[in-house]
Chain A
Amino acid sequence: MAVIQTEALTKYYGPVRGVEDLNLEVEEGEIFGYLGPNGAGKTTTIRLLIGSINPTRGKAYLLGHRISTRSFAWKKDIGYIPGELSLYGDLTGEEFLRYFAYLRGGVDWGYVKSLVQRFDLDLSKPIKTYSHGNRQKLGIIQALMHKPKLLILDEPTLGLDPLMQQEFYRVMEEVKGEGRTVFISSHILPEVEKICDRVGIIKEGHLIVVENVQSLKAKAMRRAEVVFAEEVNREEFASLPGVNDLQIEGKTLRCLLKGEPNAFIRALARHNVVSLRVQDSSLEEIFLTFYS
């Protein structure tokens, strides 16, 4: 079942493009990473999904409900962290969480306490005295506290220290383990690589790829470095299928491999290989490939 579904979802701010013809499906129980540089349309997509803004055309469905700025019942099953988290500075952390808990119609306060403990947050202080990281923790707790079926998180780990980031990843794994769904936008690509099942990459308002993280990596180029016992002929490797960006310095060959590496391996077998190292591309490199 698609928890998030968009059909040609488009948003223009006057003449300025936000996103265009976005067709996206996020399945129940998956963690979906949404990637793109600043201005690509990530936040616009998220704000369309949460009903903060109206689409210029197209439709969006969350948990089977058609989204609009007027609909709201579906929001009981949504947890949300906006990209620019703005909280009520004059409330204490506890007052804020209790206020939102009441407006949500009640939550399990024991669960809230456990989250507070895990994220090591002092709720007794006014929010205006919180550091950026602590505000972010409070935002994460408010998004999680009612155990929503779907979490929509815009840069949720922004400002968190590495320990808290790890705690956040653990919570996300638990959420996924419970069959709940997460839609996460992030600039931190190792984070996306670590926790996401699938990613969507958005470029200039258009969704250019939606792919399983592992298959995306499998399809991507691998960096190979081979040290031979003797110098090798450049032409022998340059003409091989799938070999890109070939560099030979003395007895060392470096290249990028795309697709099946069989021809490359057969060519290597004709020589005396001292060492061989093949490295998968990181998501970051894949991401940059799409943007280069």
Chain B
Amino acid sequence: MLRLIFLKTLRDLRRSILWWCIGMLLLGLYTILAFPTVRDTFADLSPYLDNPLFKVFLRDFSNLATIEGYLSVELFSFVMPVLSIIMSIVYFLGLIGREEERGHLELLLSLPLPRWRVAVEKVVAALLAILIIHLAFWLSLWVGGLAVKIEADYSRIGLAILDSLLLGLVFGGLAFFITGLGYGPGVAGGISGGLATAFYLVEAIGVVSEKFKPYRKFSLFYYYGGGRPMVEGLNWAHASLFIGLTLLMIIVGIIIFQRRDIKLKG
């Protein structure tokens, strides 16, 4: 029964959540089940991995023979943060942006509800959806790892996933903020995705180029741990930065949304 905007939003996202979960489950299972083969193949290559170019992708990990190094290369250096970012942007830009574009907000906001409540319920639903998908991914690694008897600290793998999720949320928060200003989902997706790409390039180039090294701190990817949380645990200062930025953009987005004109059906 639809009694809350939160439940209606989750209902709207249900098919998307299902397909994301299936995709992430397959990715997780494929990755973990392939590890024993990859471990044996790459064990001999470890001496070559000191090349700085490799570090763009591998960060501090040079040993693909370990589950941490393998997951870092295969997932947490590039694939996982990219998926987390895309997922967050897609979910967050639709919360206000798509509803407004379709003309649904006009009638919904004629109900005796504060605009902030409408926005908050939608944000909480999107956060839950993203959390469910990341949890499904963690479960696939855990179940797959148990199936092929890979010994690993799965709680720390969970922290690496959490780190990726938090990075993604910053860009999701940015997309929400932009739609909160009144721009459409297209603009929000473009700016958020473009900025994520720019940040990634700054970090990637900064790793291999001394000239660009000082600029790395301006990239959010600099504060993203990649596979490091599997070894060192989560850097809570960096995680707090992600959470703080996300909350800031969501809160400012809601404050502006409260005060601005609602656009007619696009």
Q: How far is the CA of A142 from the CA of B113 in the complex (A)?
A: 16
Distance in Å: Cβ of A166 to nearest Cβ of chain B: 25
Q: Which of B39-47, B74-82, B84-92, B258-266 contacts A (4 or more CB under 8 A)?
A: B258-266
B112 touches A73 (CB 8 A): yes
| Chain B nearest CB, measured from A138 CB (Å) | 11
**Binary interface encoding of chain B residues 103-133 relative to chain A, with 1 for a CB under 8 A from any of its CBs, else 0:** 1101111111111000000000000000000
Q: B107 near A85 (CB under 8 angstroms)?
A: yes
Residue of B nearest to A83 (CB): B264
Chain A to chain B contacts (Cβ below 8 Å), 14 pairs: A47-B262, A52-B109, A52-B261, A53-B261, A53-B262, A69-B258, A69-B259, A69-B260, A72-B112, A75-B111, A82-B110, A84-B103, A87-B107, A105-B112
Interface size class of B (residues with CB under 8 A): 20 to 34
Give A139 to B103 CA distance when docked, in angstroms. 13
Bound Cα distance A51, B111 (Å): 11
Contact present for B258 and A75 (CB under 8 Å):
no
Which of A94-102, A108-116, A180-188, A247-255 contacts its partner? A94-102
Residue A220 at the B interface, CB < 8 A? no
Say whether B8 faces chain A, with CB atoms less than 8 Å apart.
Answer: yes
Write the nearest CB–CB distance from B214 to chain A, whole angstroms.
42
| A103 in contact with B103 (CB, 8 Å) | no
Considering only residues 225-266 of chain B, those with a C-beta below 8 Å from chain A are 258-262, 264-265
Which residues on B sit within 8 Å (CB–CB) of A47?
106, 262
Q: Which of A51-87 contact B (CB under 8 A)?
A: 51-54, 69-70, 72-76, 78, 80, 82, 84-87
Most chain A beta-carbon contacts within 10 A, residue among B103, B106, B111: B111
Name the one of B102, B103, B107, B115 contacting A70, with C-beta atoms under 8 angstroms: B115
B residues contacting A by CB (< 8 A) are: 1-5, 8, 12, 102-104, 106-115, 258-262, 264-265
B4, B12, B113 — which one has the most chain A CB atoms within 10 A of its CB? B113
B104 surroundings in chain A (CB, below 8 A): 86-88
Shortest Cβ distance from residue A96 to the other chain B in the assembled complex, whole angstroms:
9
Bin the interface of chain A by size. Answer: 20 to 34
Chain B residues lying within 8 Å of A70, measured Cβ to Cβ, are: 114-115, 258-259
A171 smallest CB distance to B (angstroms): 19
Closest to A71 in B: B114
For B257, give the chain A residue with the smallest CB separation.
A69
Alpha-carbon separation in the docked complex, A82 to B106 (Å): 7
Are B106's CB and A100's CB within 8 A?
no
Q: Which of chain B's residues have a CB closer than 8 A to the CB of A51?
A: 109
Which residue of the partner chain, among B5, B259, B260, contacts A103 with CB atoms under 8 Å?
B5
Would you call B107 and A82 a contact (CB within 8 A)?
yes
Task: For A142, give the chain B residue with the smallest CB separation.
Answer: B107
* Shortest Cβ distance from A43 into B: residue: B264
**Nearest CB of B to A201, in Å:** 23
Contact between B2 and A99, CB atoms less than 8 A apart: yes
Are A84 and B265 interface neighbours, CB within 8 A?
yes
Contact B264 A84 (CB under 8 A): yes
B8 in contact with A99 (CB, 8 Å): yes
Contacts of B113 in A (CB 8 A): 72, 75, 103
A104: contacting residue among B102, B109, B112, CB under 8 A: B112
Q: Is the CB of A50 within 8 A of B2?
A: no
In the complex, the chain A residue whose C-beta lies closest to that of B109 is A52
**Other CB < 8 Å A-B pairs besides A53-B261, A86-B107, A103-B111, 7 of them?**
A69-B262, A75-B110, A80-B107, A82-B106, A84-B106, A99-B2, A104-B111
In the complex, what residues of A have CB within 8 A of residue B115's CB? 69-70, 72
Across the interface, do A86 and B106 meet the contact criterion of CB distance under 8 Å? yes
Query: Taking CB as reference atom, which chain B residue is nearest A104?
Result: B111
The closest CB in chain B to the CB of A85 belongs to B107
A71, chain B: closest CB distance, angstroms: 9
